[in-house]
Structure 1
Amino acid sequence: MTNHFHLQIRSKDQPVSKVMSFINKRYADYYNTKNRITGHVFEKRYYDKLIASKQGMLEVSRYIHLNPVDANMVMHPQSYPWSSYRYYMHTSRHHLLTMAIILDYFSGDAWEKRRKYQEFVGRERVE
């Protein structure tokens, strides 16, 4: 029997933005104490925005996967060691990822969906 775990942050009492704010603050406190420093750890505050369309979801996914490339940290998104992009390109699975949420926006079998997503990520973005 295979166990499937989906990591989701939810709170019945607080909106996600408040939960994330709490997590960011706790981590910043830990980081600053550990390194004996003070000040901001994160550049900007967390904010959330509802993604209301298929195109919006795909754009956010592409933005996330290309962010290390745009920051000149790597040449290709699959080269960034902390990215899930390489899992989208191969049949390997990761127990914390539900890639079908993105890949199912494309038609075809599993390989065709992956190829189309890779093509989508590589396409020029509208800024």
Structure 2
Amino acid sequence: MPYRKVIFYPTGYYHIYNRGNRKNNIFFDKGDYVYFLTKIKQYKTMYCIKIIAYCLMPNHFHLLIQQVGDASVSEFMRHCVRDYAIFVNNKYGLEGRLFQGPFKARTVQTDEYLLHLSRYIHLNPLDIGIALKELAAYPWSSYPEYIGMRNGILPEFNFVVDLVVDYKQYVLEGSEYRIKDGLKELTID
């Protein structure tokens, strides 16, 4: 088993992410997204995990979580991705690895980084051509819950939105930087 550099501590916050093997899709239809979210909901209680923010994209996912008790983030993720991979392989007659490898994790050590990370996660749909004005309608993200457009049962985010005066405006301002950075990369010197 590969060595994991991040050590998971009770009350710690973590950015968890993974993508499809060879960058292939891991979600193929609405039912796949729903199944994965169902597994997250099922195992978050069992492993004392709080979901702070999430975004599921066709070929990858992001979770911002807090480990509440002594139960392991690793066990939580192992069960979620294992169950989901079995589901997808059975549903579509696939074999082999669905995910590129073990999930990646980064420790979130400050409120500022936590806030920035929630924005980064919620802006992910821009990468697949979702217009900024339609961001709140993207169904596989916790962003609609954050801005009061949808009642949610997964994310526990009140303390995050309390860190800024207007979370929606905070996210929109972040998209401007993201667009500028993207244009900068396309500019020939």
Q: 1:102 to 1:121 in 2, by over 3 A?
A: farther
More displaced stretch, 16-25 vs 116-125: 116-125
SS of equivalent to 1:49 = strand
SS of equivalent to 1:124 = helix
Alignment of 1:51-62 (within 5 A): 51-62=108-119
1:92 and 1:31 map into 2 onto residues whose CA distance is 27
2:120 aligned to which of 38, 63, 87: 63
In the alignment, structure 2 segments of 5+ residues that lack a partner are 1-43, 49-68, 183-189
**Cross-structure match for 1:3:** none
**Cross-structure match for 2:131:** 75
Q: 1:44 to 1:61 in 2, by over 3 A?
A: farther
| Displacement over 6 Å in runs of 4+ | none
**Cross-structure match for 2:152:** 94
The one-letter amino acid paired with 1:86 is P
Which structure has the greater CA radius of gyration? 1
**Cross-structure match for 1:38:** 95
Q: How far off its partner does 1:20 sit?
A: 0.4
SS of equivalent to 2:108 = coil
Q: How far off its partner does 1:41 sit?
A: 1.6
Q: 1:44 to 1:55 in 2, by over 3 A?
A: farther
Q: How far off its partner does 1:49 sit?
A: 1.9
Paired residues of 2:122 and 2:143 also in contact (CA < 8 A): yes
Q: 1:44 to 1:85 in 2, by over 3 A?
A: same
Q: 1:12 to 1:35 in 2, by over 3 A?
A: same
Q: How far off its partner does 1:16 sit?
A: 0.5
- How well do the aligned residues superpose, as a CA RMSD in angstroms? 2.8
Q: How far off its partner does 1:114 sit?
A: 3.6
What TM-score, normalized to structure 2? 0.49
Paired residues of 1:78 and 1:86 also in contact (CA < 8 A): yes
1:23 and 1:91 map into 2 onto residues whose CA distance is 27
The one-letter amino acid paired with 1:90 is G
Q: How far off its partner does 1:34 sit?
A: 2.6
Instruction: Flag the structure with higher strand content.
Output: 2
SS of equivalent to 2:107 = coil
Q: How far off its partner does 1:82 sit?
A: 1.7
Q: How far off its partner does 1:115 sit?
A: 4.7
* Greater relative contact order structure (CA < 8 Å, 6+ sep): 2
**Cross-structure match for 2:162:** 104
Q: 1:60 to 1:118 in 2, by over 3 A?
A: closer
